[in-house]
Amino acid sequence: MTGIHHMLVHFPVGFWALAVLLVLVGALGRGRPAEIAQAALLPLLILSLLGALAAIVTGFLVWPWQANLYSPLARNHILMSLWSLGVWAMVAVLVWHAGTAAFTGARRWALVFLALLGGGLFAITGTLGGHLAGAPTAFSKILGALGWNVYTTFYVPGWVLLVLVLIGLGCAVLGVRIGRKAA
């Protein structure tokens, strides 16, 4: 089962890396390349979410729950994979609900922000998975510089909590403003 998990994780990683590029081209570009990126994003996101679900399910089957819950590294990997899935699901819902309007106005910036956040989260997820597989990466040094020891830390650093609260408040204000304009 370990080999299947290792194989399946490459689908959401590859799809999400491409999705970041498509969001940037679709939101910031112009002309035919932007139109193609906008049209291709939703089918790509649907495939990525299906691949992520398969990867997460097989990941849960690889090791016993006791081992996953005991290891801070495994817990962080699970947490980041679920956060990645959640962020990319939000991107998919935004694109599905708004269509090409997701690439204009304030929605464009929400889409770009979520895509960059999702890209960062799946990079962390992959890095932690690489550590679990015995193949650490140089990206771990960046995480360490930000206050995260991937082998022992099972928390979000305080500065990250502050940023998350500020982002949440900003999103709430933006949502209220957009709602008032639509009404």
The pTM is what? 0.79
Residue-level pLDDT at 140? 83
Indicate the domain borders of the chain: 2-156
Give the residue, 33 or 172, on which the prediction is more confident: 33
54 contacts 5 by C-beta, under 8 angstroms: no
d(CA 170, CA 117): 15
Handedness of CA 14, 55, 84, 151 (dihedral sign): negative
CA 104 to chain CA mean position, Å: 21
- For 56-87, the pLDDT digits (tens) are 888 888 877 787 777 788 888 888 888 899 89
Q: Which residue has the tokens 């979410």?
A: 49
SS3 144: helix
Q: Give me the mean pLDDT over the 105-129 stretch.
A: 90
- Per the CB < 8 A criterion, the answer to whether 27 and 111 are in contact is yes
pLDDT score of 183 more than 70: no
Q: Which two tokens stand for residue 7?
A: 């194989």
State how far the alpha carbon of 119 is from the alpha carbons of 3, 14, 71, 154, in Å: 24, 11, 24, 21
